[in-house]
Structure 1
């Protein structure tokens, strides 16, 4: 993957893909991936600014031009999740019921979310606990989910 920027986060690194003035992807990366500062005055620099603001203030609301690529069903799941306020959680089953689908399908859509944190799939939990989180290559995705949820409880 070719990143526009790779930035530090409290739990590793984040790869940002923001070509043509739209954010298309944010990926969890291991801390071993080299940092790549964003170009000055670029959209990637604004993404970094907003992410760092979220890390300081968990109630921060993102305002970025985003174009997540996914199926129509995935888009509906992501829209439903995007409306969840910071600190709130919901079950995969509740989202599934809202959309007339299955919890497993909602979980798959969450796992394929190309804009984690901005589209807060970490706020969606399994009936029995945390559940899965993001189909990224980062080794500690459940730790990241736990970190994000705990961070948002500190509002």
Structure 2
């Protein structure tokens, strides 16, 4: 699945910051996408999308939890390596693009691209990968008013990395 749009979702959960859509293909979650500033819900079409909605809701109440779902493995071998490394970053912690790149012997640009291509938001926590850290938390992520950056900051606050 290339890009998940709301009309292609098998379920959509409404949140305080927008909605989170889920798409299922062949009994696997193929995509989870955050839609900032879109406040809609869509009842789950099947048991797996209902379970994904339940787990996402639980994560939104308990930020230390991880989603445990059967997922469709997509992306290049390099992206899959990067996503696996992202999944090892605990809730409440971050890594910079440079740190993750050094660990995997890849450029920060490759890490950034994998974040952009992440088809499974929240399941693969690319929001835990940031540009740089400073005394005030992550900086260098771009315009803090941009919807994607607002969501990233919200998630990092939710997980306890940033102070509210």
By the TM > 0.5 criterion, same fold? yes
Deviation string 1:5-49 (CA, Å, 9 cap, x unpaired) is: 121122101111112210110112244464211036x10000000
Q: Is the deviation greater in 122-131 or in 6-15? A: 122-131
Equivalent residues in 2 for 1:121-136, closer than 5 Å: 121-127=126-132, 129=139, 131=141
Distance 1:141 1:31 in 2: 10
Residue 85 of structure 2 corresponds to: 80
Cα-Cα RMSD: 1.8
Indicate conservation of the 8 Å contact 2:115/2:126, yes or no.
yes
Equivalent residues in 2 for 1:75-154, closer than 5 Å: 75-127=80-132, 129=139, 131=141, 140-153=147-160
Can you give the 5+ residue segments of structure 2 that lack an aligned partner in the other structure? Answer: 134-138
Distance 1:80 1:32 in 2: 30
Deviation string 1:48-72 (CA, Å, 9 cap, x unpaired) is: 0000000000111221101242111
Residue 14 of structure 1 corresponds to: 20
Distance 1:116 1:54 in 2: 12
Can you give the 5+ residue segments of structure 1 that lack an aligned partner in the other structure? Answer: 133-138
Structure with the larger RCO, 1 or 2 (CA within 8 Å, 6+ apart): 1
| SS of aligned partner of 2:26 | helix
Distance 1:114 1:39 in 2: 20
More strand by share: 2
